[in-house]
Amino acid sequence: MNKIFFSISIFSLCLLSILNTGCKKLIEIPDNAPGQIVTSQVFIDSASAVNSVVGIYASNFFFSGPLNGAITINNSMSADELATNESYYLPIYNNALNPGDATLAEGTVGSLWSASYGKTAIYQANACIEGLTASATLSNSLKDQLIGECKVFRALSYFHLVNLFGAVPLALTTDYRVNNKLPRASVEEVYVQIKKDLLEASAELKSGYPSPGKARPNKYTALALLSRIYLYHQEWDKAEEIATNVITLGGYQLVQNPNDVFLTGSNEAIWQIAPMGFFPYMSTEGSTLIPYANNIIPTYYINPYLLNAFEAGDRRKTSWLNTSTPPGGPTYYYPYKYKNTYGVQTNGNSETYVMFRLAEQYLIRAEARAKQNNYNGAVEDLNILRQRARAAATPQVPNPLPDLPLDLSPTATISAIAHERQIELFCEWGHRWYDLKRTGTINAVLGAEKPGIWPADGHAALYPVPQNQIQANPGWIQNPGYNQ
């Protein structure tokens, strides 16, 4: 899998430089755009067509961007997973972003917007879909596979955008004349398009992976994201059905040792992408979240509220957290799901960026079942994950992480689901931040955990749209609570 990515990396970056130009507005391509010439050349034969699509992954995971650490880190600070003492990042942790701040709102957080639209993600996916659709030389089966991959990637990009910013422009073409006039589509309109892309992709993609490893999406990759979308959209029956499909038919298995979940070739991984930096055995999150020494204050450390949420005898705490103690203390915990960092390849293992994994499907099904009054079934799914996370009994902890009783009350079951999602998915793709928002608990939770910081009106649940985009698009209105 690494060979595949590195063999196309130069091609991909060259293609990227041709397809993407400077973006004054949402997507602004000059007359006689070079992309028009490139697509006619790229989508003639299967090798160049595959390289162009795989290049989307290469460009998104070579550069630092939304899908290469930024979503996890920013969302974790915005929620209650990560804390920081670094003044640069405090506006994110304090939920006090200023849309005109050129460094944070326009830069660090703004890149979640700009990189999604103008550099590497949505524009490239649209360009490939158009080129593949127009190709008269590629086989229909190859076109279906590659278009399906692009739709998964586009759907994932819009999923994050709509959850970060709310209403966003829905760009489905490379035509700059169309894109420069786009309004911000409603959240509902964006979700309709996401579901459309994923339903079509799940029909176009095959059950098997199209190349060695799990770097390129298959049918179950599309379905894994679709089950999440149905959950967020409160279509409980569909969320349960699709999650069950992935669990029972996908051929995936929970990895019994939590330390192995994020390794290359993990049986639990549904979609995992090889790192694209100079150290192919590590992810951006590993290199960013792991401090360079174990006697300093980490730039990002685990929020005490998350640390205190772990139950006794939970291996997820001992396997997925590590510590650093500066002289004189105290001890700081930091995320350790990814254990490789610069020059450090833990136990000689290679790690791969896990986009989707089976554990989330159990959590999706548990919540969907509970919302349909199948509380026993929900608890059974939670216990599957708790059994995997259970440590051996000791004199100090004789009954580690026990199974939840099947007769939990409805309220207790919903609380248990929220707790298991918090522990299982912490510091992973912004799940906690999104969960607090979609369940309507964000004001209560963060109001209690960040007193005097979390705004009473809850406007910080959405990030501000980069101010340069507001200024470049008359008629766009900044998200509520932020100065226009």
Nearest to 182 by CA among 190, 165, 170: 170
Share of the chain above pLDDT 90, in %: 73
Beta carbons within 8 Å of 306's beta carbon, 6+ residues apart: 80, 81, 422, 426
Q: Compute φ and ψ for 322, nearest 5 degrees.
A: -135, 170
Give the largest CA-CA distance in the chain. Answer: 74
459, 103 contact by CB (below 8 A): no
Beta carbons within 8 Å of 47's beta carbon, 6+ residues apart: none
Quickly state the pLDDT bin for 28 (edges 50, 70, 90): very low
At residue 418, the pLDDT reads: 99
Q: Compute φ and ψ for 211, nearest 5 degrees.
A: -150, 165
The whole-angstrom separation of Cα 290 and Cα 6 is 25
Tens of pLDDT, residue by residue over 283-338, are: 778 888 999 999 999 999 999 999 999 999 999 999 999 999 999 999 999 999 99
Which of helix, strand or coil describes residue 270?
Answer: strand
Mean pLDDT, all residues of the chain: 89
At residue 67, the pLDDT reads: 73
**In which residue are the tokens 């099947």 written?**
406
Tens of pLDDT, residue by residue over 359-378, are: 999 999 999 999 999 999 99
Which of helix, strand or coil describes residue 314?
Answer: strand
Pairing between β-strand 321-324 and β-strand 353-357 as defined by DSSP bridges: unpaired
- The DSSP result for 387-412, as a single string, is HHHBPPP-SS-SS-SPPPPTT--HHH
306, 314 contact by CB (below 8 A): no
The whole-angstrom separation of Cα 457 and Cα 374 is 34
Quickly state the pLDDT bin for 42 (edges 50, 70, 90): confident
Which of helix, strand or coil describes residue 317?
Answer: helix
Rounded (5°) CA angle 461-437-79 = 65
Catalogue all structural domains in the chain, each as residue range(s) with its CATH number: 2-270+356-472 (1.25.40.390)
Quickly state the pLDDT bin for 282 (edges 50, 70, 90): low
Please state the pTM of the whole predicted model. Answer: 0.92
